[in-house]
Amino acid sequence: MAESVSAFGATLAKLKERLAMGEKEETKEANLQNFAETDTDIEASKSPQQQAVEVGPTPVYSYQCSEDGEDGEAGGGSGSGDPELIDGHVDFNIRSKEYSLFRVESFSWGDQGYATLSRYYPELAEMLEAEFAAIKELAYGFMGEEQGIDTFKFRWAIWNYVLRIKGIVDEEYAYSEVNTLLTRSVKSYIKTMVCYPQLTTFGQWNSYLQLLDSEKIHVCLLAMEARKQAELLYGLQAILQFTARD
């Protein structure tokens, strides 16, 4: 608990400092370097059996093996002999020669994503647009017990960190904000929610940052909505590319 209180105090102090500084200008190269560093050595909390097979940027599957290296049985020893599939995540390598970054300058939700979905399911597009806006703009004017705090930069750092996990870069966003405002424990909790939501525990919830429960729920909503938008962007871009070939 003492550690989470200390982390909260540090985060609050940094947020106040950043608000006082105003907008921060960075070169394109420096910003890309900050983008890379936002997720460097950040681990989601998972057991050794839940490690992903590192073969690419997309979710892959592995299964448990016994200590002697033989394939384990699915379902906790049901005797079926089928491998137990485990949803895995592989960190996005921004320097990979096999795949490239997803750049919002070329395809964003506000421009191409919303328009593409509207062509096929306009009601859903409108609902998602309102949902994303509501979650991102939700604010209370306080952080913990500290009143009169504008948390926009903190909320936006969470959103862009999740997009970073999914390999999406916005060159107009200063990624130094993520490294400044999100501690390693906060990043680890967010990454666990985004990559392995079934593994989040009450212990993590209770200790990653000393916020009110309502604020922690908002952090969860921000992370999961950003993940939803990221996955929609990949899918909608694929649809647009496919239809453009006709």
- pLDDT score recorded for residue 23: 59
List of the chain residues with pLDDT < 70: 1-12, 14-28, 32, 40-88, 246
- pLDDT score recorded for residue 144: 74
Q: Model-level pTM?
A: 0.74
- pLDDT score recorded for residue 79: 41
pLDDT in tens, 50-82: 443 333 343 333 333 334 434 333 333 334 444
Concatenating the DSSP letter of every residue in the chain gives -HHHHHHHHHHHHHHHHHHHH------HHHHHHHHHHTTTT------GGGPPP-SSSS--EE--B-TTSPBPPHHHH-S------EE------TT-SSS--EETTTS-IIIIIHHHHHHH-HHHHHHHHHHHHHHHH---SEETTEES---HHHHHHHHHHHHHHTTEE-TTS-THHHHHHS-HHHHHHHHHHHH-GGG--HHHHHHS----HHHHHHHHHHHHHHHHHHHHHHHHHHHHHHHHT-
- pLDDT score recorded for residue 72: 38
